[in-house]
Chains A and B, each alone.
Chain A
Amino acid sequence: MTENNSDYLVRFENVQKSYDGELLVVKDLNLNMAKGEFLTMLGPSGSGKTTCLMMLAGFEPATHGEIYLDNVPINRVPPHKRGIGMVFQSYALFPHMTIGENLAFPLEVRKMGKSERDKKVKIALDMVQLGAFADRRPSQLSGGQQQRVAVARSLVFDPDVVLMDEPLGALDKNLREQMQYEIKHIHERLGVTVLYVTHDQSEALTMSDRVAVFDAGIIQQLAPPDVLYEKPENAFVADFIGDNNCLIGIVTEESENSCVVQTPDGSNIKANKVNIAGKGQKSTLSIRPERVIINPEVGQVPNIFKAKALELIYLGDHIRTRMQVCGNDEFYVKIPNTSHIADLNEGDEVSIGWNEYDCRALDAP
């Protein structure tokens, strides 16, 4: 490793977790978080994201491996001594306390004086624009307001790290998007380190510095959002992040940077060699719908195939078209509404094509 491990605020080293002694929920997790970073764990439900947070917060012991916080191993440190803020999906605001008391709680247990406490509570509430709500009970607030209070409460005692477990999961779409920006801005303003968990990829892409894509207890890829989208390293990530077309075939030729994959119907597709097992092995090709060119000129792109439009879905700015190509009839193409091709009809035959570097040859399922 070139980087110095001790520069990181949070480190998971070979962490494993099993609840029942039979199944590994988290398999060999290695993850480093820099100070001030906004890192998101993204993955389908059940992939072990919450378990990772619980281990870091101290509510679940790691079965194997070590977690470091500021270079101190914390496996034996009880939760209340870790100084980690948490936002829960259910907010976990204490129903028997007012908003002000909720926020004062972490300061009170730290034996902070009353005047200083009040000041900090006020600052924290103002930060989420809820200064006027200090005397209300959580149940008197809307979901979005409760969410803000939960965020404010997790930050009021100036923790080094804040963990957020699907904090926006219960909000409706508009509010969720608004809150994404608010949380992002708070993060930028305070410079706090955030470990965020979500199963919503657009949320992960909007908010994060880096995203760790989780599946089956393994980090499939850890990269900034654009890299994740542009350069997925395996079929799971390609499919999980954004719209994607999969074509499965056998590698017939292999060179340094490219390869040729033959689909079952006999089409030979030139692809960018990323993650294949070798010649003669199966591979999944990933092509983004917006990278497909309709009616390309001969020679414009190396891959040109006949396709048949099966279904057109009008989506305003673009038309999502399901096509049959290379023996696959779940192939989606995004046709911008500006182009003349927009007046394609169901059943029409067109030719489509794509560049070699837009077609990534990945591992087979």
Chain B
Amino acid sequence: MASNTEALKTADGISLKVSLQRSLRRKKRNALLLVAPLFLFILVTFLFPIFDMLIRGVDNKITQEILPTTVVALAKWDPASGQLPDEDIFKAFTVDGQVAAKAKTISRLGKRLNYEKSGFSSLFRKTGRQLKKFDPEKMTTSYKENLISIDKKWGKVETGSLIHRESGRYTKSYYLTAFDLTQNSEGNIEWKDADSSIYIDLFKRTLWLSCLITFLTILFGYPIAYLLATLKAKTSNLLMILVLLPFWTSLLVRTSAWIALLQKEGVINDTLVAIGIIGDESRLSMIHNSTGTLIAMTHILLPFMILPLFSVMKTINPSYVRAARSMGATGFTAFRRVYFPNTIAGIGAGGILVFILSIGFYITPALVGGVDGTMISNFIAYHISTSLNWGLAAALGAILLSLVLVLYILYDKLVGIDNMKLG
């Protein structure tokens, strides 16, 4: 053996290490160039929006933008004192309010604060209208009296303390709302009363429905995947086409088909009534409730369970079961002790896929979910497109995202992500 102490050199005398690194660097650069377009695309269309959403969930710069001087002045005031703010704060608000009223932005702040306490939207609109006409030269009273004369609410400490609380650059109020929490006028966090709390129940229902859907897809998907993996190639290809067929039809069409099947006057109910199993007056309500969501989503997500299961089962050598049987195991024991444990990676992969897809599913619960079959995503969509409360939508979205991440980590700990086989 040559001595290892001397640094090895290539034929032209460059150190071997340097030369190796050089060639590796070239390789790395090429690899980077290959993924660069996709990376940029994902950055712009996926990572930035997610980052933006995470920011939006806590962002509160609107108060500082619309009431710049008021926010500075308010910092000196202690709402716990129970005293109304000083005259200069009211003055600052009047000045800011006039600017904002002319720029037509004041109602936006009103809307923002209305999320915290109803009534603020109308208060700000009314105040804005008055302030537009207001001329300080002709003022006879103090700024404070003037505002109170516009609306009595300005004479209450709570009004000031809410603006004070929400004057920071960031707010936790969206997240509090997303967890059905609220801050009372003393600033303490407490649960909302039962009739106005919705989100915890919604999260619970979303998770529960997703669990059920995942369980059902495993129940239905496992035997199909087994058939696919063990049948002769010709038959199993045909079956595979049937499994994949739903992918070639629009999600909307499939969901509507379920409506046609499940509704009160639908095919199933009509048939049941026709054969006399149920009476005409007691038609089953299988749609526009959680049953509808469950049935339709199980059907739609089934391929996502079957494919990973199939790909795992395909790799299981049929001689495992034969070996087990030759060693004296009954068919059932061979399945339980040998076949099934080898499919756990597939169950895990399919399970996590279906679960993650279903907790974020939107179209189907929106169409067939009715009231008790809607899921968290429907509320996110509602806040984005109807109530325009993007902050709350972002907070809900972020919670959903972290839920998925937690599940993912849990799965990694339990099964190991390297074992995941998706197809």
Contact = CB atoms under 8 A, between A and B. Distances in A.
B333 interface: yes
B259 to A, nearest CB: 44
A82 B319 CA distance: 17
Contacts, number: 68
A57 interface: yes
B320 interface: yes
A96 B325 contact: no
Contacts of A57: 322, 326
Contacts of A58: 325-326
A170 B127 CA distance: 87
Interface string A76-91: 0011111111101010
A214 interface: no
Nearest to A81: B328
Contacts of B317: 90, 92
Contacts of A82: 326
Given A92-B317, A96-B341, A79 B333 contact: no
B341 A80 contact: no
Contact of A157 (B324, B327, B334, B338): B327
Provide the main secondary structure of the chain B interface: helix
Interface in B294-333: 317, 319-320, 322-331, 333
B159 interface: no
A46 interface: no
A85 B328 CA distance: 9
Contacts of B322: 57, 59, 79, 86, 88, 92
A109 B329 contact: yes
A296 interface: no
A92 B319 contact: yes
Given A90-B317, A92-B322, A105-B337, A80 B330 contact: yes
Given A105-B337, A109-B333, A92 B323 contact: yes
A106 interface: yes
Given A95-B342, A96-B341, A88 B319 contact: yes
A90 B338 contact: no
A181 interface: no
Contacts of A94: 320, 323-324, 338, 342
A164 to B, nearest CB: 12
Nearest to A57: B326
Contacts of A109: 327-330, 333, 337
Q: Looking at chain B, what size class is its interface with the partner chain?
A: 10 to 19
A110 interface: yes
A105 B327 CA distance: 8
Contacts of A95: 342
B319 A90 contact: yes
Nearest to A94: B338
A258 B327 CA distance: 53
A110 B322 CA distance: 16
Nearest to A105: B327
Contacts of A84: 326
Q: Looking at B322, B326, B341, which has the most chain A CB atoms within 10 Å of its CB?
A: B326
A18 to B, nearest CB: 16
A110 B328 contact: yes
A23 B394 CA distance: 67
A80 B342 contact: no
Nearest to A156: B327
Q: Looking at A58, A78, A79, A86, which has the most chain B CB atoms within 10 Å of its CB?
A: A79
Contacts of B341: 96
A224 B331 CA distance: 38
A85 B329 contact: no
A153 interface: yes
Contacts of B324: 94, 105
Nearest to B338: A94
A110 B326 CA distance: 12
A153 B334 CA distance: 16
Q: Looking at B329, B333, B341, B342, which has the most chain A CB atoms within 10 Å of its CB?
A: B329
A84 B322 CA distance: 11
Interface in A158-174: 163
A210 to B, nearest CB: 23
B319 A105 contact: no
B342 A88 contact: no
Contacts of B319: 88, 90, 92
A105 B329 contact: yes
Nearest to B324: A105
A80 B320 contact: no
A78 B322 CA distance: 12
A139 B197 CA distance: 54
A80 B334 CA distance: 10
Contacts of B325: 58-59, 78-80
Contacts of A163: 326
A88 B323 contact: yes
B323 A80 contact: no
Q: Looking at B320, B325, B329, B333, which has the most chain A CB atoms within 10 Å of its CB?
A: B325
Contacts of B334: 80
Contact of A85 (B320, B326, B331, B342): B326
Contacts of A86: 322-323, 326-327
Given A94-B338, A95-B342, A96-B341, A106 B320 contact: no
B329 A80 contact: yes
A109 B330 CA distance: 9
Given A57-B322, A86-B322, A92-B317, A106 B328 contact: yes
Contacts of A157: 327-328
A165 to B, nearest CB: 9
Interface string A52-86: 00000111000000000000000000111111111
A79 B342 contact: no
Contacts of B331: 78, 80
A94 B342 CA distance: 9
11 contacts: A80-B325, A86-B326, A88-B323, A90-B317, A90-B319, A106-B327, A106-B329, A109-B328, A109-B329, A109-B337, A157-B328
Given A80-B325, A94-B323, 11 more contacts: A78-B325, A84-B326, A88-B323, A92-B323, A96-B342, A105-B324, A105-B337, A106-B328, A106-B329, A109-B327, A109-B329
Interface of B: 317, 319-320, 322-331, 333-334, 337-338, 341-342
The 6 closest A-B pairs by CB, nearest first: A106-B327, A92-B319, A92-B323, A86-B326, A79-B325, A88-B319
